[in-house]
Amino acid sequence: MSSLTKVGRFLAALAFGLLLLPFVALLSETPWSELGSILTSDTVANALKVTAIVVPTSTAIVFLIGTPLAWMLARTSGPLATALRSLVLVPVVLPPVVSGLLLLSAFGRRGLLGPALESVGIVLPFTIGATILAAVFVALPFYVLAAESGFRELPATMLDAARTLGTPLDRLLDRVGLRNARAAVAAGLALAAARALGEFGATITFAGNVEGATRTLPLATFSALEQDPDIARVIGLMLVVISIGVIVLLRNTLIRRPR
């Protein structure tokens, strides 16, 4: 296993080529001369606006509710914790369209909580709230798992010391946990933001395709593909650039994580 044979090297090159070729192809098809006019068009501007609201908001919610959950998972063991951890993982594996279906069952107008929500004036589907909820649902596991692994690596003695000094849990989390697991938390947030950015299936299923409210950049790409592929290519290129930005952010935290 120490070195690859000729066939192994060929397969590795094949894998790399497979990953690289589509990007080269997209660049070669990008309508550079129309770049400016497409980027400033209403279609792109509206979708960019939705994405610019949805990604930071959902990432903030993920941080807010995911951190205590990650902390709890990191500090507990046994069958219950294993079951909880598996449950948290499910949206990672689930096809996003199924996530959308689950969200409809729970928060749709006729879903489990739909009537109760409607009685207080909240109808989620077709609103930006639904888009954010869908993003939170699919992105949460990525953050929780990364943050949990960070919290797990904290020395128990340090935590015990803090606890015996009588620091309340939330303060403990704030002072000790987040500071010392900063790299893992940052990596988790970047992963969650990336997942929220790319979210498509759950959004179109649960939130619909409403310009200015639920039509994010990925949904706009999908719509444009059938109408004007050049617009789709430009939005695609924009998402590639943003994704590379996320990777660079990740490289500094996750990939070259200091030990």
Partner 1 sequence: MHQRQRSSTAAKRPGTFSARWGQAPLAVLLALGLGACGDGRDEVTISAASSLTEVAEALETELERQHPNIDIQLNLGGTSGLVAQIRSGAPVDVLLAADQLALSADDPLALETAPLATNELVAVTPPDRALTRNDLSDNALRIVACDPNLPCGRLTEHLLADLAATSLLIEPDSLEPNVRLVRQRVLSGEADVGFVYRTDTIGSDLRILDLDATHRNTVTAVRLTDSDATRAVMATILDGTTVLEIATTLGFGAP
Query: Interface residues with partner 1 (CB under 8 A)?
Result: 1, 4-8, 11, 104, 108-110, 123, 125-126, 204, 208-211, 214, 222-223, 225-227, 229
**12 or 248: whose CB is closer to partner 1?**
12
Cα–Cα dist 233/237, whole Å: 6
**195 or 215: whose CB is closer to partner 1?**
215
Q: What's at 152, amino acid-wise?
A: R
CB of 165 to partner 1, least distance (A): 52
Cα–Cα dist 190/153, whole Å: 20
Cα–Cα dist 255/191, whole Å: 12
CB of 21 to partner 1, least distance (A): 16
CB of 115 to partner 1, least distance (A): 10
Look at the block and give the residue holding tokens 């209403």: 42
Residue 57 burial (C-beta neighbours within 10 Å; 0-12, 13-18, 19+): middle
CB of 36 to partner 1, least distance (A): 23
**62 or 204: whose CB is closer to partner 1?**
204
Under the phi-then-psi rule, with left for phi > 0, alpha for psi from -120 to 50, and beta for the rest, what region is 30?
beta
Cα–Cα dist 136/120, whole Å: 22
**60 or 97: whose CB is closer to partner 1?**
97
